[in-house]
Chains A and B, each alone.
Chain A
Amino acid sequence: MIYYVGSFLLIALGLYAVIIKKNLIKILIGLDLIASGVNLLIISIGYVKGGTAPIFSRAGLKASMMVDPIPQALTLTAIVIDASEMALAVAFVVLLYKHYGTLDIKKIRSLKW
């Protein structure tokens, strides 16, 4: 249960940072928080009470003792994709800073809203 609450909090914090903050780096941190929250949420949906990791590493393990493997498989790749997309976003921010000399989205003319 605490995992659900924590992931909701992470998503809300990230959304808050994306909407309210003016600094582009802080907006990116907000995006990353949202991604972490979503990953945590997906993983905790697949949790089964008292279950272990879905790996048959010992002889005595049975399939009924394990948690759902599919959310873990989805999250595994999502984390790496998230990291690479963050790298792309940071590249955009670096270029924006070079062009405008500031990270404040209010001062960057084409990003005003």
Chain B
Amino acid sequence: MVRKVVYSIFLAIIVLALAMFFAAYPFGKNKMTVGEYYLNHGVAQTGAANIVTSVVLDYRGFDTLGEVSVLFAAAAGVAILFFLAGGTKREQEDLTKPNFVVRVGSRIIFPFILLFGSYIFIHGHLTPGGGFQGGSIIASGFLLLYLSYPGTRTNRDGLSIIEGLAGLTFVVLGLIGLFLPQYSFLYNFLPKGILNTIVSAGILPIIYIAIGFKVASEFAGIVDDMMCQVICRGGGK
């Protein structure tokens, strides 16, 4: 009880400190510096209608490559942990069989989830969304499939190949820019096209599609690993 009171006081102090700090950054006021430049020059420099996308993939493309690697490291970590622990697996009882409505409904809805996810990442440079979000949506479709048909296994080798190819596309597109006369990693060497059409913004849509595939396959792999802990018998893959 004393512990709770003491820590509540600490929390109150932390929140107060945060509030005092953010009193210097009033809500709703325009405090852009770099953002102003991106808004004014983003369309001319990258050709993408969505400025957030041009920040993520063009101005800070190298950063995004790092974040994709973090994602890969986390997915690999999950797989390695479960693989290492595969030996001590105990026999699990069966899950309750999913409802009829869930099984039929997920069959109908699954292709639409795939369609929606790919729409999100193909239109990443025009509308809100992009590779990360679209990939997560597709992976959530896989999760639905696993929940409604407990026996499902995805083809892990296929997932690894998709993931590797997607990552390779990103890196190779970046490296091509290094060999052009402008000498910069992730240089946007393709023509910019017309604003607000699908084929515009040079390499940005290609990179976002690659990221979408990569995120989708990685999350599907994580879901597969987790579900395997509940359902598979006799350890790991």
Which listed residue, A15, A53, A66, A76, touches B14 by the CB 8 Å rule? Answer: A15
Which one, B70-78, B100-108, B167-175, B182-190, is touching chain A? B70-78
A84 contacts B75, C-beta separation under 8 Å: yes
Q: From residue A13, how far is it (CB to closest CB) to chain B in Å?
A: 9
Q: Taking CB as reference atom, which chain B residue is nearest A64?
A: B39
Is B64 an interface residue, CB under 8 A from the partner? yes
23 A-B pairs, CB-CB below 8 angstroms? A4-B19, A4-B22, A8-B18, A8-B19, A20-B7, A45-B31, A48-B29, A49-B29, A55-B127, A55-B128, A56-B49, A56-B51, A70-B38, A76-B133, A80-B215, A84-B70, A84-B218, A87-B74, A91-B82, A91-B226, A94-B82, A94-B229, A98-B89
Question: A: which residues have CB within 8 A of B?
Answer: 1, 3-4, 8-9, 11-12, 15-16, 19-20, 41, 44-49, 53-57, 63, 66, 68-70, 72-73, 76-77, 79-81, 83-85, 87-88, 90-92, 94-95, 98-99
Name the residue among A1, A73, A92, A95 with the largest chain B CB count within 10 angstroms: A73
Residue of B with least CB distance to A77 = B67
B interface, size bucket: 35 or more
Interface SS of chain A: helix
- Name the contact of A95 in the complex, choosing from B19, B85, B90 (C-beta under 8 A): B85
- Report the 8 A-B pairs with minimum CB-CB distance, sorted nearest first: A49-B28, A84-B74, A63-B39, A54-B51, A68-B35, A73-B55, A80-B132, A69-B51
**Known A-B contacts A8-B18, A20-B4, A91-B77; A44 and B27 likewise in contact (beta carbons under 8 Å):** yes
A48/B71 in contact, CB under 8 A: no
User: Does B163 sit at the interface, judged by CB under 8 A?
Assistant: no
For B40, give the chain A residue with the smallest CB separation.
Answer: A63
The distance from the CB of A90 to the nearest CB of chain B, in whole angstroms, is 7
Check: B81 CB closer than 8 A to any chain A CB: yes
Query: B residues 1-22 with Cβ under 8 Å of A?
Result: 3-4, 7-8, 11, 14-15, 18-19, 22
Give bound CA distance, A8 to B19, whole Å.
8
Complex Cα distance, B219 from A63, in Å, reads 36
Instruction: Please name the residue on chain B nearest to A45 by beta carbon.
Output: B25
Residues of A within 8 A of B67 (CB): 77, 80-81
Per the bound structure, the CA–CA distance linking A73 and B63 in Å amounts to: 11
C-alpha spacing A55/B49, complex, angstroms: 5
A77:B64 contact, CB within 8 angstroms: yes
**Cross-chain contact A57 with B77 (CB below 8 angstroms):** no
What is the 8 Å Cβ interface bit string for chain B, positions 31-62, against chain A (1 contact, 0 not)?
11011101110110000011110011000100
B132 x A77 contact (CB < 8 A): yes
Any A CB within 8 A of the CB of B136: yes
Q: Which residues of B contact A68 (CB under 8 A)?
A: 31-32, 35
Q: In the complex, which residues of chain B have a beta carbon less than 8 angstroms from the beta carbon of A8?
A: 15, 18-19
Give every chain A residue within 8 A of B15 (Cβ-Cβ).
Answer: 8-9, 11-12
Q: Which of B22, B43, B51 has the most CB of A within 10 A?
A: B51
